[in-house]
Amino acid sequence: MSSSAESKEYDVIVIGAGVIGPCIATAMARQGRSVLIVEREWTKPNRIVGELLQPSGLKALKQLGMVQAVNNIDAIHVDGYYIGFYDKNVYVTYPEKSVLKDIDTEPVPKAIFKGDEDKMVTDNTLDMKDWDNTSNVRGVAFHHGDFLMSLRKICLDEPNVTKLEGTVISLLKDGNKVIGVKVADKGEFRSRITISCDGIYSKFRKELGANNVPSVGSYFVGLDLEDAVLPRKNHGHVLLGKMAPVLVYQISPHHTRILCAIRSQKLPKREQVLTYLKDEVLPQLPESIQPSFMKALESDDQDVYKSMPNQYLVAKQNKIPGLICLGDSLNMRHPLTGGGMTVGLNDTVLMAKILSDLSNEELSDDGVILEKMLQFHVDRKGLDTVINTLSIALYSLFAADSKPLSLLQKGCFFYFHRGGECVSGPVGLLSGLIPKPMVLFNHFFAVAFYSCYINFKEKGWLGFPIALWENIVALITAAFVLLPNLFKEIFS
Ligand SMILES: Cc1cc2nc3c(=O)[nH]c(=O)nc-3n(C[C@H](O)[C@H](O)[C@H](O)COP(=O)(O)OP(=O)(O)OC[C@H]3O[C@@H](n4cnc5c(N)ncnc54)[C@H](O)[C@@H]3O)c2cc1C
């Protein structure tokens, strides 16, 4: 198939140039495929999503030879998390670099061609000498729009990639096989494989099944803080208290993102949201953050905050010939743990590796591709199950809206206080570097039993019968929080 600008036939068509689209398009192009990437809006977006990349996401960008996308965008390195619980706090540092020995860090075939595409460089905000001298892995935070424009530039510099601005309105089909796309006002384009990376509001994921629709559990409202003073530099902040969880992380030298969860499946009216932020969130924030938060709230901009639904969607196996769903189009989880880009980028690495030994002609071979899709579905399970289940389970604990959940929330905080394996295990799971569901199971129930122990201790001998009853309810609640999601992820 040809790849000239006028051509209407390609080996691969990618729908969407968000985080994942440019990455899979680049990988395909470097493997010698002609690629058309269609995006409805190529200008820089201003969104509150995808701003903290976990260490495993950074590792995936290296494997894709695209890690320099985090350079020269004023990115801030992240060493771990500060967890605030009412007036107490604990630091949780990302695992040691040795954890990388146990996971796949091999580059995608043909992704590294000059030799330095997997290496970050020193720039205004990232110091590689300092980075190399630390013994622990790091993540990175940035303005989403800047990161996206960097990824898009790397992608569009590939000679095999053709860019098209337009909205894909439908898929072209031959029977049940997808053979290309129809783009509004631009016409029809054909391909051997169409990869749908159309994100959170994906129009095309329903091709995988009529019931393939996400559920909304809660909302995040996000504000931009100027020159906020955070309790712990270079750390993501998770703040727990009477309010639903609040996330805070610095995304450039002068800007900090604050995301406040709203415990509701429907977004309340603007006035209610502003009242909640003023009356319930503001007083619970660490004192050093309050002035910048107050200033952001007082802005007379209509857009004081932006909101996003927190959605959940278990991945379905790609079984439709000619179509692959990737990124949020395939699978979503709660953004509390900042795992969306990490799952999407690691899926991209896996997909590019799995397809790498196929000739361009073989991309049209449904039998071969469907076999590869089964392999992809099975091989991605470990990371996918850990990140997705953890995000839902942690949100349930951190947004605790019942007595048993509050008991587990407290136990979780004091579990981290123990340090050692009680920190390195959970943060290894969260950073995407321990893709083992069994480790998640063990730590989650260790937290549940530790919560019971704390409750017994606090209640003393006199309160033993009450504590016993509360602990039984807490353990049942823990099982209900973890197991259904864990099984759904493993057996989907
Ligand atoms: C509140 C919130 C905060 C988050 N924070 C983080 C975080 O800190 N870290 C993290 O790792 N993840 C985070 N995530 C998740 C992360 O943003 C997503 O996982 C990630 O953006 C998915 O990338 P994607 O390419 O699949 O989709 P997107 O980035 O959404 O890209 C989809 C692209 O497709 C285009 N498109 C859609 N339909 C069409 C069409 N019909 N034709 C042409 N183009 C189309 C869109 O314009 C868009 O550019 C967060 C999510 C939410 C909701």
The domain limits of the chain are 9-76+92-212+314-383, 215-311, 384-491
Residues 409, 225: Cα–Cα separation, whole Å? 27
| Whole-number Cα distances in Å, 126 to 41, 78, 335 | 29, 11, 25
For the cut 80, the answer to whether the pLDDT of residue 50 exceeds it is yes
Q: Which helix (H) or strand (E) covers residue 250, if one does?
A: strand 246-252
pLDDT for the residue numbered 1: 56
Provide mean pLDDT across the span 99-115: 95
In which band, very low, low, confident or very high, does the pLDDT at 3 lie, cut at 50, 70 and 90? very low
Cβ–Cβ < 8 Å for 318, 325 = yes
Task: Express each pLDDT in 385-404 by its tens digit.
Answer: 999 999 999 999 999 889 99
Nearest CA owner, ligand 1 atom 30: 199
Testing ligand 1's pocket by substitution, the residue of 198, 223, 256, 311 carrying the most ligand atoms inside 8 A of its CB is: 198
Closest atom of ligand 1 to 141 CA is: 8
Superfamily of structural domain 9-76+92-212+314-383: FAD/NAD(P)-binding domain (3.50.50.60)
Expressed in angstroms and rounded, the spacing between residue 144 Cα and the centre of ligand 1 is 10
Task: Express each pLDDT in 219-274 by its tens digit.
Answer: 999 999 999 999 999 999 999 999 999 999 999 999 999 999 999 889 999 999 99
According to CATH, what is the number of the domain 215-311?
Answer: 3.30.9.100
Listed range (101-115, 167-181, 293-307, 441-455) with the worst mean pLDDT? 293-307
Same fold, 9-76+92-212+314-383 and 215-311: no
Q: What type of residue is 124?
A: N
For the cut 70, the answer to whether the pLDDT of residue 355 exceeds it is yes
Average pLDDT, whole number, for the chain? 95
pLDDT for the residue numbered 303: 81
Provide mean pLDDT across the span 406-433: 96
Provide mean pLDDT across the span 33-41: 98
Q: What is the CA radius of gyration of the chain?
A: 23
Task: Express each pLDDT in 404-415 by its tens digit.
Answer: 999 999 999 999
pLDDT for the residue numbered 151: 98
The residue among 442 and 6 whose pLDDT is bigger is 442
| Whole-number Cα distances in Å, 444 to 194, 394, 477 | 39, 9, 12
Nearest CA owner, ligand 1 atom 41: 168
* Cβ(18) – ligand 1 distance below 6 Å: yes
Provide mean pLDDT across the span 94-102: 96
As beta bridge partners, residue 173 has: 178
Helix-then-strand count for the chain, H and E: 13, 17
- Counting residues of the chain whose pLDDT is more than 70, the rounded percentage is 99
Provide mean pLDDT across the span 369-378: 97
Residue bearing tokens 């630390």: 134
pLDDT for the residue numbered 2: 47
Find the farthest-apart pair of alpha carbons in the chain and give their distance in angstroms, rounded: 81
Residues 475, 451: Cα–Cα separation, whole Å? 9
Residues 33, 29: Cα–Cα separation, whole Å? 5
